[in-house]
Amino acid sequence: MAKDKIAYVCSNCGQESAKWIGKCPSCGQWNTFKEIRIAADTGTQAARHAATSLRNKGTGGAVSVLANKPQRLRDVSSHDEPRLDLHDGELNRVLGGGLVPGSIVLLGGEPGIGKSTLTLQTILHMTQRVLYVSGEESPHQIKMRAERITKDIAENVIILSETSLEHIFEHIRDVQPDLVVVDSIQTISTEDVDSSPGSITQVRECASALLRFAKTSGVPVILIGHINKEGSIAGPKILEHIVDTVIQFEGDQHYMYRILRSIKNRFGSTSELGIYEMEQQGLRQVSNPSELLLAEDHEGLSGVAISSTIEGIRPFLVETQALVSSAAYGTPQRSATGFDQRRLNMLLAVLEKRVGFKLMQKDVFLNIAGGLRVTDMAMDLSVIAAVLSSNVDTPIEQGWCMCGEVGLSGEVRPVSRIEQRIAEAEKLGFSHIILPKYNLSGLKGKYKIQLHPVRKVEEALRALFG
């Protein structure tokens, strides 16, 4: 038998070393190197055997040999792979049109946010054979959740409660699924590594073996991952490099909305966004988020402005709320929920320097309604309008919305895809929209909504407040 190897791995970042080091050269942390024992690579062999049995499915058991050889780039076939329809419009859009065969997807999110619910209700609507591997819940618990989602449970979903990677590959050879779901990757362990499940090395080795299986067999794999207290996915950073797609499931447990974002996607855009609403029967797709993100009535309320934003390819209108009050303590507070704190400070400095409003001794609180986190620069104009509306305690008239990026000199800079923003505002019944003057040159067609082009912040505030 081959002799086991000894290695040292940083428990913080996953950096390897042949000997123990006091300070990690990669992340700079002290006393984080732990000794691990690396046995024979049985996980790789199990992945190879499972992939071979699936490749030979339907070929009469004949052994096929993969011949990898160098080839010219121009000779490589460029046709699109047929994607696996997940029967979920939001999830399909975030993935880029469906699940690519042989891909490996990592779904991360906070505890209780709905990762397992989203995955389970997706596979319950599929017709392909799915192997759902759970290392955290028993089959009885999964059955109870499935009955809450739907009463008609098909025969294509096969449940397995297992944490050993080698045993999982044995069951894959027996079941021969079209899709494998692992919930979660931090609970799976392999015999190759002498450490507890969830450690840096265990997560890396298990993910690498599952990647080898997916690429060799052509069966897609969905991994569910935990996140740490900093909000990033637990485990080594190489876990996100290994997988093809990283999806983040966001939202506050106290809000009903859930946001599905693509952080990394080798088969599609990373700017897509999916919105769900948490209900008792599971997660419901929100096809028109604008109507849900706007309050029913904010007439007579100051500090509220409507902004036309775009996330991915979807335009929708969100409600920006601001509260400005005299500072109760010596240092005024600046707080932003759903918006970049540093950008809020910059916009307040623009208001004070370029427009002349004194906010130095006042507390400013900003909130994006619905628990959303918006990164669109076109929100700047609505943030300034909401802050000023609260400062002078004057409400903005109903039927007004706006979009525009604000520069340091107080100018309103042009934004992208202005036609979609105007069409969304017009569809929801708004009668006035403030937009950058530079965007007028690219507009085509006529709109029923009245356009108010502005070059500076003062012009926008004059149009709103007179």
List pLDDT tens digits, range 2-25.
Answer: 456 778 888 777 788 888 999 999
461: exposed, middle or buried (Cβ count in 10 Å: 0-12, 13-18, 19+): buried
Q: Enumerate the known binding-site residues.
A: 109-116
Scanning 324-456, the segments in alpha helix (DSSP H) are: 341-350, 380-392, 418-427
Give the residue with greater pLDDT, 273 vs 180: 180
Peptide bond into 184 cis (omega under 30): yes
Q: What's residue 62's pLDDT?
A: 38
Q: How far is the C-alpha of 184 from the C-alpha of 106, rounded, in Å?
A: 10
Q: What DSSP string describes 294-355? A: S-S--TT-SSEEEEEEEETTEEEEEEEEEEEEE-SSSSPPEEEESS-HHHHHHHHHHIIIII
pLDDT of residue 41: 55
For residues 119 and 136, is the Cβ–Cβ distance under 8 A?
no
List, for residues 215-267, the tens digit of each pLDDT value.
Answer: 999 999 999 998 877 777 877 778 888 999 999 998 766 677 888 989 999 99
CB 121 within 8 A of CB 148: no
CB contact at 8 A, 84 and 128: yes
CATH class of 89-287: alpha beta
Q: How confident is the model at residue 59 (pLDDT cuts 50, 70, 90)?
A: very low
Given a contact cutoff of 8 angstroms between Cβ atoms, the answer to whether 339 and 269 are in contact is: no
Per-residue pLDDT, 153: 87
Structural tokens at position 450: 């009245």
Domain ranges of the chain: 1-41, 89-287, 291-465
Maximum mean pLDDT: which of 54-68, 192-206, 414-428: 414-428
Contact status, residue 240 vs residue 246, Cβ threshold 8 Å: yes
- Read off the pLDDT band of 61 (50, 70, 90): very low
Widest pairwise Cα distance in the chain: 85
Give, in words, the CATH class of 291-465. alpha beta
> Tokens at residue 228, please?
């740490």
Which residue ranges make up the annotated binding site for ATP?
109-116
Per-residue model confidence as pLDDT tens digits over 387-429: 999 999 999 998 999 999 999 999 999 999 899 999 999 988 8
- Is this prediction's pTM over 0.85? no
For residue 456, give both structure tokens: 């500076």
For 70-122, the pLDDT digits (tens) are 889 888 877 767 899 999 999 999 999 899 999 999 999 888 889 999 999 99
pLDDT of 150 > 70? The answer is: yes
Burial of 73 (0-12, 13-18, 19+ CB in 10 A): exposed
Partners of 169 in the beta sheet?
A: none
- Long-range CB pairs of 14-20, under 8 A, 24+ apart, other chains included: 14/200, 14/201, 14/204, 14/235, 14/236, 14/237, 14/238
Residue 115 CA to chain centroid, in angstroms? 11
User: Around Cβ 330, how many Cβ atoms within 10 Å?
Assistant: 6
Q: Are 135 and 187 in contact (CB under 8 A)?
A: yes
300 versus 155: the higher-pLDDT residue is 155
The H helix count followed by the E strand count for the chain is 12, 21
139-151: average pLDDT:
92
